[in-house]
């Protein structure tokens, strides 16, 4: 099957800065693909390379099998939902949504009908006569989505679209985007720095760091089986265990990750396990996060709320199942 988007050794350098460095990537048609990474990791540049706002310094990009280098943004069957929405302030909502059809010279009646349909799709029917300035942040986001979808793109690019929304709205939009993507069957490429968002929405996640992809996989892969220390730390803040520690407990001299919720914290002063001292505890509602110090190694554990907690500074004994200890590929 032809990939929706295919990167082959794609680099984008700005002077001496390697924003994107020899990235290989295949996005499957119809999948919800997330690009996850800290700011400056190259994920947004990758998105802009797909949209056509940037041209690769080296390598080749194909969109549904067609070479994309040198093709301007307006000749690509790809649309973008911008981080700041970029609605046109001098046009009303309906004309904003119909803009893509207007510049393709679709008749007025036809493009307004299509725009109305797109507004219904994002649950904003009847908002056409308003100005972007009269809408709330969440509504603007929906208009930006409708404006992109009305063009029936083959790939929809979303650049941190939920970043400016408050928590409750963000959770609603996450579900809505997901079901919209399922219903339309369009390939979504979603850029985010929020690992929770990437894990909950995407079919597959690419984790970026320093212009390179550290790992591509399903959310479960990324979360349970991180391949590098960076991924383990960035995606859900796993404990990264040094080779010496791992050799003692797993018999292999490798870096390993251990999820905080896989650690059991006991009060026994001696016995089988890792002796540690409780440094502090953070109450998070459903869970409590404990900061621990195991002979100089800083660890985090997450325990369910309501469990009896040791006092700060108290000695504790940590235990975990060997199968939860994930050995990473990264060389020692």
Partner 1 sequence: MRSDRGQRAPLGLKIAAACGLLFLHLPILLIFVYAFTTEEKSFVWPPPGLTTQWFAVTWNRPDVWEALSLSVRVAAISTTIALVLGTLCAAAVSRTKFFGRETISLLVILPIALPGIITGIALRSAFSLADIPFSFWTIVLGHATFCVVVVYNNAVARFRRTSGSMIEASMDLGADGFQTFRHIMLPNIATALLAGGMLAFALSFDEVIVTTFTAGQQQTVPIWMLEELIRPRQRPVTNVVAMVVVLVTLLPILFAYYLTRDGDQIAGSGK
Q: Which is nearer to partner 1, 144 or 214 (CB)?
A: 144
User: What's the rounded Cα separation, in Å, for the pair 280 and 300?
Assistant: 10
Closest distance to partner 1 from the beta carbon of 118 (Å): 12
Is 85 a binding residue for partner 1 by CB under 8 A? The answer is: yes
Closest distance to partner 1 from the beta carbon of 90 (Å): 5
Interacting stretch for partner 1, rule CB under 8 A, among 51-59, 190-198, 236-244, 306-314? 51-59
Is 147 a binding residue for partner 1 by CB under 8 A? The answer is: yes
Candidates 24, 69, 84, 166: give the one binding partner 1 (CB under 8 A).
Answer: 84
Closest distance to partner 1 from the beta carbon of 157 (Å): 9
Is 87 a binding residue for partner 1 by CB under 8 A? The answer is: yes
Closest distance to partner 1 from the beta carbon of 239 (Å): 37
Which two tokens mark 321?
């199942």
Interacting stretch for partner 1, rule CB under 8 A, among 95-103, 178-186, 268-276, 318-326? 95-103
User: What's the rounded Cα separation, in Å, for the pair 50 and 4?
Assistant: 11
Is 51 a binding residue for partner 1 by CB under 8 A? The answer is: yes
Candidates 15, 65, 70, 89: give the one binding partner 1 (CB under 8 A).
Answer: 89
Is 151 a binding residue for partner 1 by CB under 8 A? The answer is: yes
Is 14 a binding residue for partner 1 by CB under 8 A? The answer is: no
Query: Is-contact 246 274, C-beta < 8 A?
Result: no
Q: How far is CA 120 from the centre of its chain?
A: 27
User: What's the rounded Cα separation, in Å, for the pair 265 and 172?
Assistant: 35
Candidates 28, 121, 164, 250: give the one binding partner 1 (CB under 8 A).
Answer: 164
Is 167 a binding residue for partner 1 by CB under 8 A? The answer is: no
Give every CB contact of residue 15 below 8 A, 6+ residues apart in sequence: none
Q: Which is nearer to partner 1, 136 or 280 (CB)?
A: 136
Q: Which is nearer to partner 1, 157 or 241 (CB)?
A: 157
Give the closest residue to 195 by CA, choosing from 185, 186, 184, 205: 205
Interacting stretch for partner 1, rule CB under 8 A, among 38-46, 84-92, 197-205, 317-325? 84-92
Is 308 a binding residue for partner 1 by CB under 8 A? The answer is: no
User: What's the rounded Cα separation, in Å, for the pair 181 and 165?
Assistant: 20
Interacting stretch for partner 1, rule CB under 8 A, among 67-75, 207-215, 263-271, 291-299? 67-75
Give the closest residue to 56 by CA, choosing from 10, 87, 103: 10
User: What's the rounded Cα separation, in Å, for the pair 255 and 233?
Assistant: 12
Task: Give the DSSP per-residue string, 290-317.
Answer: EEEEETTEEEEEEEETTS--PPTT-EEE
Residue 161's SS3 state is coil
Query: Is-contact 211 56, C-beta < 8 A?
Result: no
User: What's the rounded Cα separation, in Å, for the pair 157 and 148?
Assistant: 9
Closest distance to partner 1 from the beta carbon of 184 (Å): 18
Closest distance to partner 1 from the beta carbon of 7 (Å): 19
Cα within 13 Å of Cα(144), Cβ side = 25
Number of residues counted as binding partner 1 (CB under 8 A): 30
Give every CB contact of residue 269 below 8 A, 6+ residues apart in sequence: 315, 317
Give the footprint of partner 1 on this chain (CB under 8 A).
51-53, 72-74, 78-80, 82-90, 99-100, 102-104, 133, 137, 140, 147-148, 151, 164
């Amino acid at each position: 099957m032809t990939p929706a988007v295919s990167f082959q050794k794609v680099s984008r350098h700005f002077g001496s800065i390697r924003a994107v460095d020899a990235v290989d990537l295949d996005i499957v048609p119809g999948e919800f693909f997330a690009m996850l990474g800290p700011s400056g990791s190259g994920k947004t540049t990758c998105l802009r390379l797909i949209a056509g706002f940037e041209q690769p310094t080296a390598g080749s990009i194909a969109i549904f099998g067609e070479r994309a280098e040198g093709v301007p943004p307006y000749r690509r069957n790809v649309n973008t939902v911008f981080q700041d929405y970029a609605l046109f302030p001098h046009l009303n909502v309906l004309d904003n949504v119909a803009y893509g059809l207007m510049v393709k010279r679709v008749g007025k009646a036809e493009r307004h009908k299509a725009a109305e349909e797109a507004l219904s799709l994002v649950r904003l029917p009847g908002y056409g006569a308003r100005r972007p300035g009269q809408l709330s942040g969440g509504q603007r986001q929906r208009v930006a989505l409708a404006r992109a979808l009305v063009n029936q793109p083959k790939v929809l690019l979303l650049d941190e679209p939920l970043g400016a929304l408050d928590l409750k709205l963000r959770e609603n939009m996450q579900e809505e985007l997901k079901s919209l993507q399922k219903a339309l069957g369009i390939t979504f490429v979603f850029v985010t720095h929020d690992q929770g968002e990437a894990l909950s929405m995407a079919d597959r996640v690419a984790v970026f760091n320093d212009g390179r992809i550290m790992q591509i996989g399903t959310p479960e892969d990324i979360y349970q089986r991180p391949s590098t220390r960076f991924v383990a730390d960035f995606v859900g803040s796993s404990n990264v265990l040094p080779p010496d520690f791992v050799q003692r407990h797993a018999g292999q001299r490798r870096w390993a990750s251990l999820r905080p919720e896989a650690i059991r914290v006991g009060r026994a002063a001696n016995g089988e396990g890792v002796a540690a001292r409780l440094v502090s505890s953070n109450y998070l509602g459903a869970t409590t996060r404990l900061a621990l110090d195991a002979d100089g190694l800083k660890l985090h554990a997450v325990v369910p709320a309501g469990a009896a907690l040791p006092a700060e500074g108290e000695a504790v004994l940590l235990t975990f199942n060997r199968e939860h200890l994930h050995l990473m590929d990264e060389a020692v």
